Amino acid sequence: MSELQYIPGSCNIGKGEIKRRQLVALVGLFLSISTLATLISMQASATARLGIFFPLMVASVGFIQSRSKFCLAYGFAGTFNIGKLGDISRVASPADRAADRKTALIILGKSFLLAAVVTGVVLVLPF
């Protein structure tokens, strides 16, 4: 595969940043599993089970960003990082910034939906 490049609304992070998002997804997954195990061991109420949404959101955001090759924070900030870590560049075109913001909102929505659906599953688990 060739080297990644900035594509407005489609790709705003390179390989190093993608690996960071994968790490965030794994940390969120670990926290979600740990939280679920704790909830099960405590036979937690439905209200307490809602707390699993937050680690699931972390996992969802990391996963969807890494799969999309797009950082929602960079999209909202009008920046991108395709090169080495820490080498952040500004998006010059207003149209490109608008496309990035739209993609960032879509990623945020997908992440929220994924975390909400899994939270719903945890709410109906019989424990």
Tell me how far CA of residue 45 lies from CA of 39, 56, 68, 97, in angstroms. 8, 18, 35, 44
Helix axes 53-68, 94-124, angle to 10 degrees: 140
- Dig out the tokens for 44 from the structure: 């937690």
The percent of residues in the chain predicted with pLDDT above 90, rounded, is: 91
pLDDT for 2 equals 53
Helix axes 15-42, 53-68, angle to 10 degrees: 160
- Which residues sit opposite 7 in a β-bridge? 11
pLDDT tens readout for residues 79-93 = 999 989 889 999 999
pLDDT tens readout for residues 99-108 = 999 999 999 9
Query: Beta 79-80 vs 89-90: how paired, if at all?
Result: antiparallel
DSSP character at residue 51: G
Please give the average per-residue pLDDT across 13-28, as a whole number. Answer: 97
Q: Where are the domains of the chain?
A: 15-119
Helix (H), strand (E) at residue 66: helix 53-68
Residue 117: partners with Cβ closer than 8 Å, 6 or more residues away: none
pLDDT for 1 equals 45
pLDDT tens readout for residues 25-72 = 999 999 999 999 999 999 999 999 999 999 999 999 999 999 999 999
